[in-house]
Each structure stands twice: as structure tokens, then as C-alpha cells.
Amino acid sequence: MKIVILGAGVIGTASAYYLAKAGHEVTVIERQPAAGLETSYANAGEVSPGYSAPWAGPGVPMKAIKWLMMQHSPLAIRPSFDPTMWRWVTQMLMNCTSKRYEINKGRMLRMAEYSRDVLQQLRSDTGISYDERTQGTLQLFRNQQQLDGAEADIAILKRYDVPYEKLDKAGCLKVEPALVNVQEKFVGALRLPGDETGDCFKFTQSLSRFAQELGVQFKYGVTIQRLVKSGDTISSVITSEGEIKADCFVLALGSYSPILLKELGIKIPVYPIKGYSITVPITDAQKAPESTVMDETYKVAITRLGDRIRVGGTAEITGYNLDLRADRRATLEHSVTDLFPGGGDVSKAEFWTGLRPMTPDGTPVIGPTPYRNLYLNTGHGTLGWTMACGSGQFIADVVSGKRPAISTEGLFMDRYGSVNSPIFIHKELA
């Protein structure tokens, strides 16, 4: 088939690669001058299936109130009269139960674990390089309450056979020796040895080149204006360079997906949750992290990327605003200098922000829509890099009419109850 993919972030690029491998003729439309220049550009650098969990969980509403009162809060809300914002927040709060948390985390783990396996196969097949490391994630707890609270997650990790290690201080120092300088600041950690790290932008750029070798055409600097429908199908996409027709369309526009879908009468609860990062040049490798350390108190990920430290975090609910706020930078600088003093020069850091396409339950929306030839690959939230390869292979299988390697349960948009009959054509894939 002739397939058009809308968006060349890590999700769209991975979709293009795997669809081309499946034998399709693929064109990617992207408004930026190259692949991976928006949300994929400077994320936290984690490929973290073990750490995959919905933000909506038991106790989160009370935690959110406490976070908002912290000096270096992991959460910021910029209230507005936008009904979409408040509807999304309400839906998220409805998922803050033990039952929903377990269901949602299970769905996320399924895709994230599969995606890591697909990524490993891609590395083996292509030799792709992106400052990758395979040394796991250390979820660092600064107090005993946080350490005790990890038991609920451990129970779910056991159920899905995800490897983990519960570490005391000495165990933490074995995997992250630089923490010896601040060992009075934490009590222990949960280590997820199956997690990986890497530069998502470097990966996306390299994968786009591999995709081009397979015949994928990337149209950069082209703005998508609207999709043209004809009955229960999409006939074309109107762009700044004219009309482009295809047999099939895959929407991978991240936080901007709902805007294009709204004109088609499709509603998905994907909302932009703003995140920030700083990329810090390493000045003393002995004082820098070896892999990823997740500072649980501030919800900040500190990741080694070659000769740099990527520090990412903050959940800011503020719509599509992309302003760089000094107070958010201060929180990131505080976390990295508090745990890894002397490891890098924060005064020379690159400051960045991006919009995470979040769903209220944390699970992405991947698969068919009520239009027979329109598919979605969006809503990955903070886990786009973690789930990219698996999502790309998954959507390639679904579009090609093949049974995916993992269950489709909970990944299609029918979990929101807003479906028409065409979606049930694909039920045999579940």
C-alpha cells in the first residue's frame, strides 16, 4: 500500500521504518526541517520498561497537593478556562484507584517490554548507535516512606516477570559509585536492570536514514492542514505543498493529534503535559551517573548520555505553551547538583522544553479508528522513547493485517467507548 505517516518524531519515524520493512511504500510528512526536532529532541533519555507506570495512581491526588507546595515541585498547573484541560484532569483523577492503576500499568508494561525487545533486535540488525547504555534504572528514594511505597509496584513487576532489585545504600553505590559523596541523602532504591538509556534525537535521526534506505520518502518543512474524508475513509491530506493521496494514513503527531482528529469527529483524550530538560556537559566522569537515576522526590531523571548528563522532569499543565521557565530549570539543576555535585557544569547546560502527549490512563492509543484507512500511533506520554520501536512494529502489523506479537487489549481507542463499526473489523487481532 501507499502509506502516509503524519509526523516524524521517534514514533512516526519508527512507524515508517517498520512499515517499509513490511513492504509498503511510505511517505512521512513533517513540519520541522528534520526528524526528531520536537518532543523527541531532548527527553530524559530513558528506555525504561521497568519504570513504566501511569501517573494516575492511588494517593496521587493527595501527593499532588503536597507537590504544589514544594519549592522544587515536580508538578505545576497554570489554570485556564480551557474545558479540554479540566476534562482531561477529571478523567485522570478517575483513574487514581488501585484497580485502574494495576490494569493501566499492566498494559503499559506489555508494550514497553515488547518495545525494548524490538529495539534490541534493531540494534542487532542495523548496528544503530545513539549513546546507548544497558545498565538499568535506579529509582532513588530519599526517605523510608518512598521505599516502603515501592512494594505495590514490586508486586506488579513480579506478576509480569519484570526483573528488579531492591537495594540498600551499599547496593546503590555498587551500581552508581558517584552517590558515595551524598549517601546521607537517600535510604535505598529500586533497581530495574532491564532498562536502557540513549539519546532519542540521535536515534531518530539515524533511524530516519535507515528508513530512507528502505525507500521511505521524508517531506520536511511541510505543514499538515487537514485530512479529507470520503465516506468512512480518508482520501488525502492537504498540506502546504498541496494534496497528497494514499491508501492508508498513520497519525503520529503526539500532542497535536487531537487537533487534526477533531475535524473528523474523533475525540481522544490526549493532552499536552509540558516537560523540561537540561543537557549538562560532564566535567568529572567519576562524579557523574553511570546510567539513569530517578530522583523520586522531585520526579527528575538524571541520565548519562556519552559525555553529557541529561536531566529531565516536571509535569506542567499549561496547554500548548512552550515558554522556558527559570523556576523549572532551577528544579532540574537542584536535583542533579544535589545528587551528583561536581559531575557537570550546569552553567553551560542547554535548556529545553517539550510537550508530552498524555492520556488520562497512561496507555498510548495505537491502532484503527472509525475510518477504515486511518490509524493512530499517539498518546505515549513520557514513554514515547521507551515504546517507540514496539509501537512502530505493532502498527505495521495491524496496518498489514497481521496478528501483532502482543495482545491489542487496551491499546485501541475503543477503550474510550467512542468507536464505530469499522474498528471491530480488527477485533480478531486481539
Q: What gap in Å lies between CA 402 and CA 394, rounded to an integer?
A: 9
Contact 278, 242 (CB under 8 A): no
279 is known to lie in a ligand binding site = no
Q: Is 223 exposed, middle or buried (0-12, 13-18, 19+ CB in 10 A)?
A: exposed
Q: C-alpha angle with apex 306: 206 to 390, nearest 5 degrees?
A: 45
**5 is known to lie in a ligand binding site:** yes
- Is 11 one of the annotated binding-site residues? yes
Query: Cell for 423?
Result: 474498528
Give the three-state DSSP class for 384. helix
The CA dihedral of 417, 420, 423, 427, to the nearest 10 degrees, is: 70
- Is 13 part of any known ligand binding site? yes
To the question of whether residue 3 is assigned a binding role by annotation, the answer is yes
On whether 302 is known to bind a ligand per the annotation, the reply is: no
On whether 9 is known to bind a ligand per the annotation, the reply is yes
Separation CA 357–CA 12 (nearest Å) = 13
How far apart, in whole angstroms, are the C-alpha atoms of residue 335 and residue 12? 32
Q: Is 240 annotated as a binding residue?
A: no
278 known member of a binding site? no
CA nearest 297: which of 187, 193, 181? 187
- Number of residues written out for the chain: 430
Q: Is 76 annotated as a binding residue?
A: no
Q: Is residue 365 a known part of a binding site?
A: no
* Residues flagged as binding site: 3-17
Residues annotated within the binding site for FAD are 3-17
